[in-house]
A and B are shown apart, each in its own frame.
Chain A
């Protein structure tokens, strides 16, 4: 129906040994909103970065209006007509400058622009641009004073000064309210009607329902589903994105022990439905849900990083309300955080120091550390998790990603605890390391309660004795991983079990 704006064929990209994009073929049509879905690590952001010139592709071709595009830098891509609005709003605007300067910034940075500022001209042109996208704002105000939606609109308006062929939006609504998002959608629809191709990355049901002409799903660096038949089959798209190739993981069902952690009417964000949930000893519970469903928030509350809105938590029967990670650890609640690079790894520290960091009191007498005891504990962890390294004295940076992740998990397995929470423990590790980590979690699960936060359905099915689905910061489903109705689980993940979609939008 519509003509093709951008055609991508056979695109591959690897970072070191890690193949991130595995032959992407994708067409983006003029006057159409294509929604790109994919779990964390599926390769969405890498694809976007290759298209907009941040990373060069290893192989493959991008054609813009039939002509090959060779954008080596973001500014070349912008000049060619490919414009990206990034997730973090403040990447797209300079808060201290006024609206006019922001809108004209790229013009100012262009080679050959005059030396002196021509304020009046800049303002006049900025007003024109603002008006053209329906942004009603005093262009002399600093952007930092505007509300989030207006800032987002400024970022988009700035993108529009380049008359883009393709507009890429990376989770633009993640920090907007429902009302603010609505203004953005109206603008995007207007842009679409002028013939711009839009690539829209989002997990939000409401966004996708509102905007999508077409859904493309990515998983493990490949496109695994394309949906363009109206009405769009959103459930099938989530299915494709999460994947559920049943694995041959050997799950022997253990009878669950006593209740370790009880959540009673726990409201984790204002306006969310309260959560009632029992976590039992010896049991591995997978908590799953899309990005923004409340998994991270729940983990943060259990570990004392954030406080719930209302409700109670009980640990082994006693009230439990940690105010800091230190208090949580003292009560035997451990969290292995997601994104090890920024939350877990101590760079320039050796393996021993990385493993023993939370438990130094145990390896010291009167504050003086016993290095031999530390090294013994580190060697035990290395042995237990099959970590490939030369010795416990290696710098953590010399290990591969999978082995680094094993160190992070091993750190929290090195001490007994009441409740172990692992937030995305399989993030960025290969299938072998994933199995090793999963096996260890199961082997050691006796005597404690275990929560694994994961969004990939494969991982969930592989690890869980019981599956709890979160959507909109509330429990949407609770299943034993026996004979499981996968369709129902996926429907709950997609937020279709409850039909209150306006809440999805404001749930953030």
Chain B
């Protein structure tokens, strides 16, 4: 009994000292560094560039990152189970082409187009998951293969042309279908919010998806088990987790969210444009990886991913308003990513290492 009390007293006696030791400047920097950097940027741009602080500018930033943000949240799920999904970009563009095909060529309505895209996204995720779980193909390679396959597949029905009303089909007919107004509403409607016509649908969808992802990953047992799988797959399996099912689920969520991104892109463009969406994969993966650095998480997380996407949006919008040329954008994104990765792996790794 004495030993037990001793141990407890000892543990409690240690408590304040250790907690104080935890809050070193490095720890603070790791935890709040990225958020402060973002606050600093916003402050800088609002001083340096007139008109940066306005509801329209804020909404523009949100709108510019809505689609990549949604894709990034999807890829976050695959990162959580220690996987990776390279096929999100091409899944999104496939959804873009599929929705155009359904409405313009098959002359069906908005609901059919949306459903077809969501089902396709889920199927792509299912195939990815099965390739990885059942066929034991490494995640990067399986989704790389899927990426290629989809890029090719979306060109076949139209012999490599973009889809628009009035185009000639391979069989010689001219398409007469149109993008349904309900579908275009998804991309073009703006809700009133204090100011008339302020908030686009895509921004609301982004916020909704982000909250749902956060709740799922942080608050539910399914999210916890996904993190457990990513942390030590074998231990998770021995704790009774159905590892395969959760992995497949992660890829399906990734596929569905990618198709949501594709739908929004199609609704904004109003045509099945083959060339759009080239940057989706890199941008969204970058957002998810930048998310590692937010709050010193050092792991994929929904909040970080959303912040990561916003960070890039703020930076690009600010630079654009300060007349930085468009062709510097990728360079800026790349730099942010590298800095974020250093935050995550060098600094956090050092802290973890010293704890052991």
Contacts and interface: CB of A to CB of B under 8 A. Distances in A.
Interface in B226-243: 227-228, 231-232, 234-242
Nearest to A360: B221
Given A342-B234, A346-B232, A346-B236, A386 B221 contact: no
Contacts of A349: 227-228, 231
A390 B239 contact: no
Nearest to B352: A397
Contacts of A348: 231, 298-299, 352
Contacts of A386: 3-4, 7
Nearest to A349: B231
B279 interface: no
Contact of A367 (B14, B18, B222, B242): B222
A133 B221 CA distance: 58
A357 B236 contact: yes
Contacts of B346: none
A347 B241 contact: no
B238 A344 contact: yes
B219 interface: yes
Contacts of A249: none
A328 interface: yes
Contacts of B323: none
A80 interface: no
A324 B242 contact: yes
Given A342-B232, A347-B231, A369 B238 contact: no
B221 A361 contact: yes
Contacts of B19: 390
B228 A398 contact: no
A390 B18 contact: yes
B219 to A, nearest CB: 5
Q: Which has the most chain B C-beta neighbours within 10 Å: A330, A346, A349, A395?
A: A346
B238 to A, nearest CB: 5
Nearest to B220: A367
B136 interface: no
A389 B7 CA distance: 9
A367 B221 contact: yes
Interface in B185-233: 215, 219-222, 224-225, 227-228, 231-232
A55 B3 CA distance: 37
B216 to A, nearest CB: 9
A353 B242 CA distance: 17
A364 interface: yes
B15 interface: yes
Contacts of A343: 234-235, 238
Interface in B1-30: 3-4, 7, 10-11, 14-15, 18-19
A390 B14 contact: yes
B355 interface: yes
B225 A360 contact: yes
A265 B292 CA distance: 53
Given A367-B220, A368-B220, A397-B352, A325 B237 contact: yes
B228 A357 contact: yes
A396 B60 CA distance: 43
Interface in A261-279: none
A411 B235 CA distance: 12
A234 interface: no
Interface string A312-351: 0000000000001110111000010100001111111100
A189 to B, nearest CB: 40
Contacts of A311: none
Nearest to B219: A368
A460 B225 CA distance: 34
A388 B11 contact: yes
Interface residues of B, number: 34
A358 interface: yes
Interface string B229-270: 001101111111110000000000000000000000000000
Interface string B112-140: 00000000000000000000000000000
A367 B222 CA distance: 7
Interface in B330-356: 352, 355-356
A185 interface: no
Contact of B238 (A325, A364, A367, A388): A325
A326 B242 contact: yes
B134 to A, nearest CB: 15
A398 B231 contact: no
B235 A346 contact: yes
A389 B11 contact: yes
A492 to B, nearest CB: 30
B182 to A, nearest CB: 33
B235 A390 contact: no
A324 B245 CA distance: 13
Contacts of B224: 353, 357, 360, 369
A227 interface: no
B326 to A, nearest CB: 40
Contacts of A337: 238
A349 B231 CA distance: 8
A113 B52 CA distance: 64
A397 to B, nearest CB: 6
Interface string A38-53: 0000000000000000
Contacts of A364: 220-221
A391 B224 CA distance: 20
A330 B298 CA distance: 34
B23 to A, nearest CB: 14
Nearest to A356: B224
Contacts of B236: 346, 357
A230 B215 CA distance: 70
Contacts of A303: 238
Contacts of B18: 390
Contacts of B7: 386, 388
B220 A369 contact: yes
Contacts of B355: 395, 397-398
Given A325-B240, A388-B10, A389-B11, A344 B219 contact: no
A382 to B, nearest CB: 9
Contact of A390 (B3, B15, B219): B15
Interface in B294-312: 298-299
Given A346-B232, A386-B4, A363 B242 contact: no
B220 A335 contact: no
A26 B129 CA distance: 54
Q: Which has the most chain A C-beta neighbours within 10 Å: B11, B15, B298?
A: B11
B221 A335 contact: no
A347 B10 contact: no
B298 to A, nearest CB: 8
Contacts of B238: 303, 305, 325, 335, 337, 343-344
Enumerate the 6 nearest inter-chain pairs by beta-carbon distance, A residue then B residue, closest first.
A360-B221, A358-B239, A329-B240, A326-B240, A367-B220, A357-B239
Given A353-B224, A369-B220, 8 more contacts: A303-B238, A324-B240, A345-B232, A348-B298, A357-B241, A360-B225, A369-B224, A390-B19
29 contacts: A324-B240, A324-B242, A325-B237, A325-B239, A325-B240, A326-B242, A329-B240, A330-B240, A343-B238, A346-B235, A346-B236, A347-B231, A347-B232, A348-B299, A357-B228, A357-B236, A357-B241, A364-B220, A367-B221, A367-B222, A368-B220, A369-B221, A369-B224, A386-B4, A388-B11, A390-B18, A397-B356, A398-B355, A411-B239
Interface of A: 303, 305, 324-326, 328-330, 335, 337, 342-349, 353, 357-358, 360-361, 363-364, 367-369, 386, 388-391, 395, 397-398, 411
